[in-house]
């Protein structure tokens, strides 16, 4: 099949138009894709920041609660340790001197 110069010129013109249309469609699609990706990254970044803030707040509340519990329980533990020590001392004293305590 033979294509003369005019038909070839028309055919090349059609291909050129199609090529420009494809490039435009590709650029448009590429732009939409990157816009969507950028928007998604912004959403994920905001969610990540919110999650980190929540974790930091929870940790701060946990540390505050721990400090309050320690403030209340440490003196009790000290009293229990002293009471246990006194109790052990009394047991040794009674064991060493049973007559003294059984006769009283």
Q: How many domains does the chain have?
A: 1
- Pairwise CA distance, residues 32 & 83, whole Å: 75
Residue 17's domain comprises 5-103
- Pairwise CA distance, residues 70 & 77, whole Å: 10
Residue-by-residue pLDDT tens, the chain, 104 positions: 566 667 777 777 877 887 787 888 888 888 999 999 999 999 999 999 999 999 999 999 999 999 999 999 999 999 999 999 999 999 999 888 888 877 76
């Amino acid at each position: 099949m033979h294509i003369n110069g005019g038909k070839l010129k028309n055919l090349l013109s059609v291909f050129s138009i199609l090529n420009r249309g494809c490039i435009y469609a590709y650029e448009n699609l590429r732009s939409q894709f990157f816009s969507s990706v950028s928007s998604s990254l912004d959403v994920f970044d905001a969610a990540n920041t919110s999650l980190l803030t929540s974790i930091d707040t929870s940790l701060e509340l946990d540390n505050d609660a721990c400090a309050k519990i320690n403030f209340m329980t440490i003196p009790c533990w000290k009293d229990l340790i002293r009471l246990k020590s006194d109790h052990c001392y009394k047991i040794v004293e009674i064991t060493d001197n049973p007559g003294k305590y059984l006769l009283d």
